[in-house]
């Protein structure tokens, strides 16, 4: 397993700090905060996700905000994964241009298929 990059560690540190301020039941004590951070970093970095700073930093921030809103106990790393929003989808490519000839051939094929379905329905 490779080491998590700084942006990833920073995102988790920011989120964990926000959760610490809430003093949720089951949260780590001051003497184990550093170890808690290290475990969260290792566990989440090892998740089967191709983490990318451009898209995932914001997703991690939003997941921590969601946890902070909903949690009534100290969450697990799994809870953060469950709160991760979906990645933004790339814009769809425009439909390729179609010539008049292609459009007419497609219309003809549709007419033939429709006629075939009508004929089969009548039998």
Residue extents of the structural domains in the chain: 6-83
**Per-10-residue mean pLDDT for the chain, 123 residues long?**
91 94 90 91 94 95 95 94 91 87 92 89 72
Please answer whether residues 48 and 78 qualify as being in contact, where contact means their C-beta atoms are separated by less than 8 angstroms: no
| Chain segment 33-60, per-residue pLDDT in tens | 899 999 999 999 999 999 999 999 999 9
Report phi then psi at 90, rounded to 5.
-65, 150
Q: 73: which DSSP letter? A: S
Q: How much is the pTM?
A: 0.70
Length of the chain: 123
Angle 76-38-44 from CA coordinates, rounded to 5°: 50
Q: Is 123 helix (H, G, I), strand (E, B) or coil?
A: coil
């Amino acid at each position: 397993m490779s080491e998590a990059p700084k942006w990833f560690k920073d995102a988790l540190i920011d989120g964990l700090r926000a959760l610490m301020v809430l003093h949720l039941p089951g949260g780590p004590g001051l003497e184990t905060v550093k170890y808690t951070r290290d475990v969260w970093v290792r566990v989440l970095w090892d998740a089967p996700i191709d983490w990318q700073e451009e898209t995932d930093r914001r997703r991690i921030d939003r997941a921590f905000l969601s946890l902070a809103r909903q949690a009534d106990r100290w969450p697990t790393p799994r809870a953060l994964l469950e709160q991760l929003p979906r990645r933004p989808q790339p814009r769809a490519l425009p439909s390729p241009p179609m010539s008049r000839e292609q459009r007419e051939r497609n219309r003809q094929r549709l007419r033939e298929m429709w006629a075939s379905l009508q004929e089969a329905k009548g039998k």
